[in-house]
Chain A
């Protein structure tokens, strides 16, 4: 009989649900933003604002959860992380490239959602009536520029994120984002078990940073 492979938990169910809701919302937002520009005509506004509201709620939830109920410092980047990466040292829970992707994509999504929330004032919905005079025309222009720039950055970064997630050598991360777990051997390739081993709850020495 085969001995069971020891698995460790990388992502809690709530984090995986957040990730996939965010992923779906971002893909719908990109499609409803850019397909009409490319000549695919459809009623894109309802899909865009509803997906935007879903993304905003998900971002607020994630920000509160990771700030107050999780270890936010797991995602921070310090000079020592650059030195460790250059020296080929294994990381804690997140590798430097993962942290960089999270930082850049997170910033772009925050900018898009913040400006998108303001732009909701220009849309008539069952919940509120549009008020295009909320801001001056020149201020609206700046909001649109920031929203568009964030959207273009999200397009580039989403392409890169999808590519990296589908690489055969990164398959364990994709599996962990679907099922939550990876084997100890898979984790040990890039993660130092002394700094992160998936047993965070009962081990005060392991802080995932």
Chain B
């Protein structure tokens, strides 16, 4: 019998009662959450259970929700049961001031770098990780760049000389010009008029 989302949900509720919550099925994928200190228990159950057999970790990442005090960071696991070919998504939420989550490296070797990446970009501290250091960014970096408080560069900034890239400056590459560039041109013209 192939597994169904409904059945997985029942099994989880039988085992963990009210501790697993927020069951949803966005675009057909069963999604649920658990308290963060339960993450290994849930992952272990999903892995070991003779019926569920979620033994392939497809993906691990984090999402930052600055508007949810106390649960700003979500660590998201995508698991796959290759035999029955069904995927689920499992989330744990954590406080951004104390982003400690147990590591899944003992269960999945694949989690090693994915957790390092998650630490690198979101600062999630995976307790028990064998080598938790930055992986894509430089070691000296002192912030976690994918958090929402770090906006991308403002396209209309003026302190940067990127004339050669078609933005701002006086060369004016047609449509590439920013609003700032246009205003400067207008101001120049105004000044010119006054002199005349």
- A and B together in one complex: no
